[in-house]
Amino acid sequence: MTTAISIFDTTLRDGTQGEGISLSADDKLKIALKLDELGVHYIEGGNPGSNNKDIEFFERVKGMKFNAKITAFGSTRRKNSVAEQDASLLRIVESGVPAATLVGKSWDFHVHTALQTTLEENLAMIFDSIAFLKRNGIEAIFDAEHFFDGYKHNPEYALTVLQKAREAGADWIVLCDTNGGTLPGEIHDIVRRVNNEIKANIGIHTHNDCELAVANSLAAIQAGARQVQGTINGYGERCGNANLCSIIPNLELKLDYSTIGVDKLQQLTGTARYISEIANANMPVGQPYVGNAAFAHKGGIHVSAILKDSKTYEHIRPELVGNKQRVLVSELAGQSNVISKAQELGLDINANNNKTREIIDRIKELEHQGYQFEGADASMELLLREAFGEMEEIFQVESFKILVEKTNADMVSEAIVKIRLGDETVYTAAEGNGPVNALDNALRKSLIQFFPKINDIHLSDYKVRVIDEQGATAAKVRVLIESTDFDNTWSTVGVSSNVIEASWEALVDSFRYAILNMSKVESNASENVREQLGLVNH
Ligand SMILES: CC(=O)SCCNC(=O)CCNC(=O)[C@H](O)C(C)(C)COP(=O)(O)OP(=O)(O)OC[C@H]1O[C@@H](n2cnc3c(N)ncnc32)[C@H](O)[C@@H]1OP(=O)(O)O
Ligand SMILES: CC(=O)C(=O)O
């Protein structure tokens, strides 16, 4: 019989205390709906005593149906006052939530220094505030701030704090490692002792200042905690909160606890990426379980083995958390990487094909020159298709020219591009706010008449990296361009000692790739041009 662990998500509250994370009420609503789909049990939406955005969020969720309990956050009443008149507690009641978290001090040092009150008054603040929530029919979760530091300095007072919260009717007592400085062994030991002393539902809330928030949460659960608080992608104050994207699968797949269930677990990667988009925070590629590289294999020896059995280099099947295996092709590749990539693209290859060795040699040579294909999936696909003779010559570049004019008021770039499509030669000119933008506009203008869907494509990222720093302004540069058509995103690479040429190379690859993929699904090119380009299936 597996033990159930309650998952308490505080992405919308403690997550927004992370530097660079700021969510509108709309964003919060979208994230709350996504978290509800994932199956977390509590969604802490914010602090209605803090700002109007959070008040708006709670107003808007009032009429909506959630499976999770929408939870409001606040602190115990102010010192020397009464709970019934405390603005923050009143806002919580007005927000109409079924559950609320109240943070209270459990470290005597904080009572003296931060609150500047007596130990007795702090106990009264905790008791009064929890009792007030309970009188208003609200489930009360008590977050014992700095509990572990408090327990280490004055265990008797820290335990009295918990006891007070319990006497007032707290439904959960959550032990917080607020400063994130406690180690897993200490957490395990202290939670076990608390569990023996206090008859209550115990929870854990950790921060990642020693990069131990996940380990500490697991240690607490193994010592008897039954609720874990954390955030998606580990967003949160300073170094962040415990990352639920690691805690949930560790509990479900490694420790045999039940949380959201193994079916919902498959939504984890999608949820993490969706929330990172809304939060406008890039996910680290190597983020465990849900990162793009969590199951990406680069070394030739690894790839050779995973093709025989994925378990050789994967601790779980990526599909269990909604992620997928990826094979990267780079200078560290062996023939297995190329075979795998070619098979993924539906190209006909086998281990004895001499082409494999030629392709690897070419990739290694290009990477030696400065190309980097692991971050340029589309350029890699074009290279492989070309090597296999499966690449239609969609258009040929005959020439391009750029003029840059500086006037008093402005700096304008103009590009003139000459390309051949089938037996037509197309000249176009376009302006842009810089030379690359002008080239992009001119190339787009010449292609759009044949492929109207080009209109949907735009550059979503443009990165330049100096490869040979010693060459200074004569150094080689690598340009990586990311393009998107809203449904798909792809990346291309160009290398040259001239930044415009490198950008042009990446730009041309991006359009070639887009048109190639359009032709597979639906092309808007006129029949005549499609015929000439060999894009028509006879
Ligand atoms: C561990 C945590 O993450 S706790 C949550 C932290 N999150 C936030 O602070 C974000 C939201 N906070 C806010 O919007 C504001 O800080 C507010 C609205 C809560 C308070 O704003 P202000 O009234 O201007 O006070 P300010 O932020 O300067 O100081 C906090 C006050 O709360 C008091 N306080 C701190 N913790 C508690 C507590 N657990 N119980 C009661 N009072 C507390 C402090 O002693 C201080 O009081 P003081 O002004 O008498 O010194
Ligand atoms: C409550 C909380 O966020 C903390 O103690 O870290």
Domains of the chain listed by start with CATH number:
3-279 (3.20.20.70), 296-387 (no CATH), 396-533 (3.30.160.270)
Q: What is the position in ligand 1's atom list of the atom closest to the CA of 129?
A: 40
Determine contact, residues 438/413, Cβ cutoff 8 Å: yes
Around ligand 1, the residues with Cβ closer than 6 Å are: 14, 17, 47, 49-50, 75-76, 78, 103-105, 114-115, 125, 145, 178, 237
The predicted model scores a pTM of 0.87
Determine contact, residues 341/380, Cβ cutoff 8 Å: yes
Give the separation between CA 72 and CA 74, rounded to whole angstroms. 7
> 496-502 — which CB contacts under 8 Å span 24+ positions?
497/471, 499/464, 500/402, 500/435, 500/436, 500/439, 502/464, 502/477, 502/478
Residue 323: count of CB within 10 angstroms of its CB: 24
27 pocket-lining for ligand 2 (C-beta < 6 Å): no
- Of the chain, the end-to-end C-alpha distance in Å amounts to 61
Q: What is the position in ligand 2's atom list of the atom closest to the CA of 207?
A: 6
Q: Which two tokens stand for residue 111?
A: 């009572």
44 pocket-lining for ligand 2 (C-beta < 6 Å): no
- Give me the DSSP letters along 249-307: HIIIIIS-EESS-HHHHTTHHHHHHHHHHHHT-PPPTT-TTTSTTTTEE-SHHHHHHHH
- Give me the DSSP letters along 470-532: GGGGGS-EEEEEEEE-SS-EEEEEEEESSHHHHHHHHHHHHHHHHHHHHHHH---S-HHHHHH
Which residue, by CA, sits nearest to atom 4 of ligand 2? 178
Give the separation between CA 511 and CA 490, rounded to whole angstroms. 10
Q: Which residue has the tokens 């008590």?
A: 142
How high is the pLDDT of residue 473? 62
Helix (H, G, I), strand (E, B) or coil at 413: strand
143 pocket-lining for ligand 2 (C-beta < 6 Å): yes
Q: Which two tokens stand for residue 262?
A: 């193994």
Q: What is the position in ligand 1's atom list of the atom closest to the CA of 14?
A: 3
Q: Which residues neighbour 326 within 8 Å (Cβ) at sequence distance 6 or greater?
A: 292, 293, 295, 296, 297
Give the separation between CA 72 and CA 304, rounded to whole angstroms. 51
Q: Side chain identity at 233, as an amino acid letter?
A: N
247 pocket-lining for ligand 2 (C-beta < 6 Å): no
Which residue, by CA, sits nearest to atom 49 of ligand 1? 115
Helix or strand holding residue 105 (H, E): strand 99-105
Q: Which two tokens stand for residue 42?
A: 């509590």
Radius of gyration of the chain (CA): 29
CB-neighbour burial class of residue 506 (10 A; exposed 0-12, middle 13-18, buried 19+): buried
Give the separation between CA 400 and CA 46, rounded to whole angstroms. 54
Give the separation between CA 228 and CA 177, rounded to whole angstroms. 12
- Phi and psi (nearest 5°) for 50? -105, -45
Give the separation between CA 176 and CA 14, rounded to whole angstroms. 12
Length of the chain counted residue by residue: 538
Determine contact, residues 510/378, Cβ cutoff 8 Å: yes
Determine contact, residues 435/448, Cβ cutoff 8 Å: no
Give the separation between CA 335 and CA 162, rounded to whole angstroms. 61
Q: What is the position in ligand 2's atom list of the atom closest to the CA of 101?
A: 1
Which residue, by CA, sits nearest to atom 23 of ligand 1? 50
Give the separation between CA 278 and CA 22, rounded to whole angstroms. 10
Helix or strand holding residue 118 (H, E): none
- Which ligand minimizes its atom distance to the CA of 205? 2
Determine contact, residues 446/410, Cβ cutoff 8 Å: no
Which residue, by CA, sits nearest to atom 6 of ligand 2? 178
Nearest by Cα to 337 from 367, 384, 298, 377: 298
Task: Look at the alpha carbons of 237, 241, 245, 246 in this order and tell me if their dihedral is positive or negative.
Answer: positive
Q: Which residues neighbour 281 within 8 Å (Cβ) at sequence distance 6 or greater?
A: 20, 21, 233, 235
- Per DSSP, 407 falls in state -
- Which ligand minimizes its atom distance to the CA of 116? 1
Distance from residue 173's CA to the centre of ligand 1 (Å) = 20
Residues facing residue 99 across a β-bridge: 71, 139
Q: What is the position in ligand 2's atom list of the atom closest to the CA of 176?
A: 5
How high is the pLDDT of residue 522? 43
Nearest by Cα to 417 from 446, 437, 395, 458: 446
Give the separation between CA 54 and CA 28, rounded to whole angstroms. 9
Q: Which two tokens stand for residue 536?
A: 């028509």
Per-residue pLDDT of the chain (538 residues; tens, 9 = 90+): 799 999 999 999 999 999 999 999 999 999 999 999 999 999 999 999 999 999 999 999 998 999 999 999 999 999 999 999 999 999 999 999 999 999 999 999 999 999 999 999 999 999 999 999 999 999 999 999 999 999 999 999 999 999 999 999 999 999 999 999 999 999 999 999 999 999 999 999 999 999 999 999 999 999 999 999 999 999 999 999 999 999 999 999 999 899 999 999 999 999 999 999 899 998 999 999 999 999 999 999 999 999 999 999 999 999 999 999 999 999 998 888 988 888 888 887 765 567 888 899 999 999 999 999 988 999 999 999 998 888 878 899 999 999 998 888 788 899 999 999 888 999 999 999 899 999 999 999 999 989 999 999 988 899 999 987 666 666 899 999 999 987 789 999 999 999 999 999 999 999 999 998 885 544 444 455 545 444 444 3
Pocket test for ligand 2, best of 11, 13, 14 (most atoms within 8 A of CB): 14
Q: What is the position in ligand 1's atom list of the atom closest to the CA of 76?
A: 40
Q: Side chain identity at 175, as an amino acid letter?
A: L
Residue 127: count of CB within 10 angstroms of its CB: 23
Distance from residue 489's CA to the centre of ligand 2 (Å) = 38
